[in-house]
Chain A
């Protein structure tokens, strides 16, 4: 088992001198489940942005699936992202597209045929219990359903790495557990999972390695949900 993600002394400074991350190091093994936690401003979202190559590190090395993100060419960024499923707190669904179409976007980017897209989206909708709302537009769906659509979009192409940024931030506790159960189910099937959250209560319910950050500095590494 090799490291899917490797953060080595990563520093990210924004113009104006704000240090979002200060020499942070951690790794994420193939098939592992990792929480990144900390209060607001700890640097969780910066880690997600760096992993998606939305930002470049000021210092240090980031490897994702053996790609060095510091030297990654802009034209290679789309191909990196095709290997990473991403889920956000605000779902980021396209309002003018149905649930089916929102999920299909990931496969359309890959250039799959309509028939293949229909088959794979249909399968994913079924797994996530969304078949009945396949042709509903996001505003017609509940928060939990919207997040399920976002998860479906993230996993429909079977990416080796799944990243979630506060995936339960907009959901009530019951739905939050429901969504986390879905994510851990994906992880059990072999997907490497990184979840950024500040919800300590939620983390305590799931067994995973946890990297804790405070104001951009890694303060602790632990295992959550040991009791469960």
Chain B
């Protein structure tokens, strides 16, 4: 009964304090909500960074041009070796000379194609190798580049166009995006946390006398702490809810715009389960941690 009474007191006191410092509360909730949205979006972008890099670089493909008279069997054998050697390889596709010619013809202006004898267009069979960006890391990338570079020496292989630069670019883009995203997320979370800590300190400083009196009449440190924790928790949850509603509204607006532009096939999911979880758990954790850290320093200095 006593515990329940105290819990009710903490809850009441926490909510009363939030209402009393409505300006701090509002700014705190908004800061947390903006931070949650920014970090959430960054997380989403990082999560999808590999796909984005893949799209940016047009997919990581290697093209192995074969001598014109290379038999199909030799090409299939080459494909098998490549598949077995590299787990990053997701597809190996053989294309005949005719396929190559057709592809080259597409690259030429129509007028020129009409005037040109198709047999004059250079063509040779080739094997196209597709790599999975998600499985790449720096060491594997170097090994792949080295291995495919040496393939020029293999009998029947004319030239390898593997876009080493493209692989390097993809990898550094991915790594850069991840590092930058992590750094920016860290800074944003730290800024939000710092703001909540500072706000808590200001509120605690304003309540210094109140806390002194509470301690004098026999309040335990937890009795002083818990209403502040509840304040932080409620602020964090409110910020999470606000962030969720904001993103939901943005998504609705974007879907409606895309529908108007007949672009509904563009995938748009700003609120996957991870994002919703981040809003709720992230908001609550940030609010709670901020108020706990803000109060801890004060209570450490506060003499009995």
> Which residues of A are in contact with B by a Cβ distance under 8 Å?
52-54, 74-75, 77-82, 86, 92-96, 105-106, 108-114, 153
**Interface residue from A75, A79, A80, A96 paired with B210 (Cβ < 8 Å):** A96
Contacts A92-B212, A96-B20, A109-B223 given: A78-B6 contact, CB under 8 Å? no
Give B203-233 interface residues, CB cut-off 8 Å to A: 209-210, 212-220, 223
Separation of A94 and B212 alpha carbons in the complex (Å): 10
CB neighbours of A53 from chain B (8 A):
304
- B155 at interface (Cβ–Cβ under 8 A)? no
Separation of A96 and B213 alpha carbons in the complex (Å): 13
CB neighbours of A105 from chain B (8 A):
213-214, 217
Task: State whether A77 touches B217 (Cβ < 8 A).
Answer: no
Contacts A53-B304, A108-B9 given: A92-B216 contact, CB under 8 Å? yes
Task: State whether A81 touches B2 (Cβ < 8 A).
Answer: no
Separation of A84 and B8 alpha carbons in the complex (Å): 25
Task: State whether A78 touches B5 (Cβ < 8 A).
Answer: no
CB neighbours of B139 from chain A (8 A):
none
- B3 at interface (Cβ–Cβ under 8 A)? yes
Task: State whether B218 touches A92 (Cβ < 8 A).
Answer: no
- Secondary structure at the B interface, as helix, strand, loop or mixed, is helix
CB neighbours of B8 from chain A (8 A):
114
Question: Closest 8 interchain pairs by CB?
Answer: A82-B218, A111-B2, A81-B218, A111-B6, A78-B220, A78-B218, A106-B217, A109-B219
Given contacts A82-B217, A111-B2, 5 further A-B contacts (CB under 8 A): A78-B223, A81-B215, A92-B209, A106-B217, A114-B5
Task: State whether A113 touches B217 (Cβ < 8 A).
Answer: no
Total B residues in contact with A, Cβ cutoff 8 Å: 22
Task: State whether B217 touches A153 (Cβ < 8 A).
Answer: yes
Of chain B, the residue at the smallest CB distance from A56 is: B304
Separation of A114 and B217 alpha carbons in the complex (Å): 18
Separation of A93 and B295 alpha carbons in the complex (Å): 22
CB neighbours of A92 from chain B (8 A):
209, 212-213, 216
Give B1-15 interface residues, CB cut-off 8 Å to A: 1-3, 5-6, 8-9
Separation of A112 and B6 alpha carbons in the complex (Å): 8
CB neighbours of A93 from chain B (8 A):
213
CB neighbours of A74 from chain B (8 A):
304
- B266 at interface (Cβ–Cβ under 8 A)? no
Kindly provide the distance from the CB of B83 to the nearest chain A CB, expressed in whole angstroms: 67
Task: State whether A77 touches B304 (Cβ < 8 A).
Answer: yes
Q: Can you pick out 10 interface pairs between chain A and chain B where the beta carbons lie within 8 Å of each other?
A: A53-B304, A82-B217, A92-B213, A92-B216, A96-B210, A109-B223, A111-B2, A111-B5, A111-B9, A114-B8
Of chain B, the residue at the smallest CB distance from A107 is: B217
Of chain A, the residue at the smallest CB distance from B20 is: A96
Separation of A74 and B214 alpha carbons in the complex (Å): 15
Give B109-142 interface residues, CB cut-off 8 Å to A: none
Give B185-216 interface residues, CB cut-off 8 Å to A: 209-210, 212-216
